[in-house]
Chain A
Amino acid sequence: MKNGILILSLFLSTQLNAQENSKSIEINTKGYFVDGIFRLISSPTINWAKNNREIGIGPTFLLASVVAASSNQYPRLVGLQAHYRYFPNGNNNQLNLFLFEEITLQVINDTWETNEWNYTLSKYQAFEYTNREYLGLSNLGYGIILRLSEKISVSQSIGIGVYYSKSDSNEKTPGAPELFNEDQNINGYKDFGLTYGLNFVIQFKL
């Protein structure tokens, strides 16, 4: 906590640098925890920077998730991501610090499987269900961007925020037992809660 306050004070006490307008594209890969459950997504985004501020927007691809049953379907297009970055020390040095706000909206179609005992066959029988999840995340955080060359830079950042999630499951396998109401909104976690994660970015200046 003390370290956080120290860093924030240093950000704010540093003089800002004026910069030019610029445009860049980046590959943003992030792993984050939603209520303790890990997800890995990647977003190619296009960014516009002016002075010491930057905004970006792009699609998101889900690379992996520990929740989903059908991991062979990855990577998949799942939604949109938008971010805003603020560089208190400017964005022209070799190493720059930034604060960010990031919003990610995702619709994740998935399948999951149950194994239920069939008393007639005396064995477990698998049934598939579909699941459509609507997930929104809003993260605040800070990070470091390292300029490798005039055109290429990499960054790492950490963020913390809130999420909202809602899902809808239905039977896929013919004859699958009907889901109860409480099983239709099954996320593996609560509908609303805290999220945190790490971002790794490689950025190309246009």
Chain B
Amino acid sequence: MILKRNTIYLSFLILCLSTCKVDEGSEIEPSSESNYQTKNVVIISIDGPRYIDTWNNTSIDLIPNQRSLKSEGVFFNNFYNNGFTYTMSGHAAITSGYYENIHNNGTESPANKSIFQQFLSYTKLPPFKSCIIASKKKLDALGNTKDLRWHNSFLPLTNTENREDSVTLRVSLDVLSEHQPSLTMIHFKGPDVAGHGNRWDDYLKAIQSTDIYVKEIWNYLQTVENYRNKTTLLITNDHGRHLDGIQNGFISHGDRCEGCKHISLLALGPDLLKGSIVTQHFGQIDLAPTIARLLNFPWEGEGKEIIPLTRQK
């Protein structure tokens, strides 16, 4: 009888626990007047360099341009992909604010709406005011979602092709010049492609090349009236790669090892604390609510706004 009663109590406990949900995340409500100077956000995503080969490289400086820009913005040395360390899933975490495992071949859109759709829905601006420009064609799936309430709605302009990063840079500058989008993501694939090809020298060169492209984009943003002192630039990654000694090292990625998860975030812009280093842990899903706050559009999701990033005007 006692045994039976304990069973019943235990069962009730499990049933009760199964109904509980820990609610985390953030809800951004737009204010009537933005507290920030930022009117545009540009995200540069560099595909798959390891943190130890970029910011934590003690033997050779492959990213001198970003290092020099560091003093003008906020650098996060504890920034992570806390979800699935593949290209599509990593980017989906940035653009949808949720970690999820989606097909890495571009046939599956994220389960939640993207920041591009939410931005266009709120502002009612035309599609070209929100852009995805990428060196891998499959990234066009990030503009859409499987959620039927948002599927095929408020889709951003996508210019994604399997092409060299140098071409993507030229296309990006053309799009920024012609359409002057307010929310843009630019993707460079170089380090990831060279890594998968087991070409170490090319991998290092690709990191150097993307560093130059970052500088070119930043310089462009400082020369155009629409962007100068009104634009926040976020430079980050979708994932890292295995550290040496883990599986096949820099060639691959995709698990939850430190090398795959540890990425970087450098943020530059008029509302940011200059020359500061944030050691607090943040992840990719925290970018979506932060961008929503900067561009003053509503957002609801799992990520938390990155408060240490900004100072209000």
Q: A143–B124 Cα gap in the complex (Å)? A: 49
Binds B, one of A18-26, A54-62, A78-86, A114-122: A114-122
Partner of A187, one of B3, B18, B146, B154: B146
Closest chain A residue to B127, Cβ basis: A117
Q: Is the CB of B19 within 8 A of A117?
A: no
Q: Could you tell me which residues of chain B, from 99 to 145, have a CB within 8 Å of some CB in chain A?
A: 107, 111, 121, 124, 126-127
- In the bound complex, residues from chain A placing their C-beta under 8 Å from that of B121 are 115
Q: Is the CB of B148 within 8 A of A156?
A: no
Residue A95 interfacial (CB < 8 Å): yes
Q: Could you tell me which residues of chain A, from 34 to 59, have a CB within 8 Å of some CB in chain B?
A: 36-37
- In the bound complex, residues from chain A placing their C-beta under 8 Å from that of B3 are 10, 14
Q: What is the total of A-B residue contacts with beta carbons within 8 Å? A: 75
Shortest Cβ distance from residue A38 to the other chain B in the assembled complex, whole angstroms: 11
Residue B152 interfacial (CB < 8 Å): yes
Q: A114–B149 Cα gap in the complex (Å)? A: 8
Q: A143–B241 Cα gap in the complex (Å)? A: 45
The contact string, 1 if C-beta is below 8 Å from chain B, for chain A 69-89, is 100000000000000000001
Shortest Cβ distance from residue B45 to the other chain A in the assembled complex, whole angstroms: 24
Shortest Cβ distance from residue B144 to the other chain A in the assembled complex, whole angstroms: 9
How many residues in B have their beta carbons less than 8 Å from beta carbons of A? Answer: 26
Residue A206 interfacial (CB < 8 Å): no
Q: A123–B15 Cα gap in the complex (Å)? A: 50
Residue A131 interfacial (CB < 8 Å): yes
Q: A143–B121 Cα gap in the complex (Å)? A: 44
Shortest Cβ distance from residue A188 to the other chain B in the assembled complex, whole angstroms: 5
Shortest Cβ distance from residue B258 to the other chain A in the assembled complex, whole angstroms: 27
Shortest Cβ distance from residue A57 to the other chain B in the assembled complex, whole angstroms: 25
Binds A, one of B5-13, B74-82, B276-284: B5-13
Q: Could you tell me which residues of chain A, from 152 to 200, have a CB within 8 Å of some CB in chain B?
A: 156-158, 182-183, 186-189, 198
Q: Is the CB of B107 within 8 A of A182?
A: yes
Q: A145–B202 Cα gap in the complex (Å)? A: 66
Residue B60 interfacial (CB < 8 Å): no
Q: Is the CB of B15 within 8 A of A144?
A: yes
Q: A112–B145 Cα gap in the complex (Å)? A: 13
Q: Is the CB of B153 within 8 A of A117?
A: no
Given contacts A10-B3, A115-B121, A116-B155, contact A69 B11 (CB under 8 A): no
Q: Is the CB of B152 within 8 A of A189?
A: no
Q: A123–B7 Cα gap in the complex (Å)? A: 62
Q: Is the CB of B148 within 8 A of A189?
A: no
Given contacts A115-B153, A116-B152, A117-B126, contact A189 B11 (CB under 8 A): no
Given contacts A112-B149, A114-B151, A188-B147, contact A144 B14 (CB under 8 A): no
Partner of A3, one of B10, B126, B152, B155: B10
Q: Is the CB of A6 within 8 A of B10?
A: yes
The interface size bin for chain A is 35 or more
Residue A67 interfacial (CB < 8 Å): yes
Q: Is the CB of B111 within 8 A of A189?
A: yes
Q: Is the CB of B124 within 8 A of A112?
A: no
Q: Interface centre among B18, B148, B153, by most A CB within 10 Å?
A: B148
Q: A81–B153 Cα gap in the complex (Å)? A: 34
Closest chain B residue to A167, Cβ basis: B148
Residue B4 interfacial (CB < 8 Å): yes
Shortest Cβ distance from residue B114 to the other chain A in the assembled complex, whole angstroms: 14
- In the bound complex, residues from chain B placing their C-beta under 8 Å from that of A122 are 126
Closest chain B residue to A196, Cβ basis: B18
Q: A115–B127 Cα gap in the complex (Å)? A: 11
Which B residues fall within an 8 A CB radius of A? 3-4, 7-8, 10-12, 14-15, 18-19, 107, 111, 121, 124, 126-127, 146-149, 151-155
What are 19 A-B pairs at a CB distance below 8 A?
Answer: A36-B111, A37-B111, A67-B148, A69-B148, A114-B151, A115-B154, A116-B153, A117-B126, A117-B127, A122-B126, A144-B11, A158-B15, A182-B107, A183-B151, A186-B146, A186-B151, A187-B146, A188-B111, A188-B151
What 12 additional pairs, Cβ within 8 angstroms, besides A158-B18, A189-B146? Answer: A3-B14, A10-B4, A11-B7, A67-B147, A69-B149, A112-B148, A114-B151, A115-B121, A131-B148, A158-B15, A186-B151, A188-B111
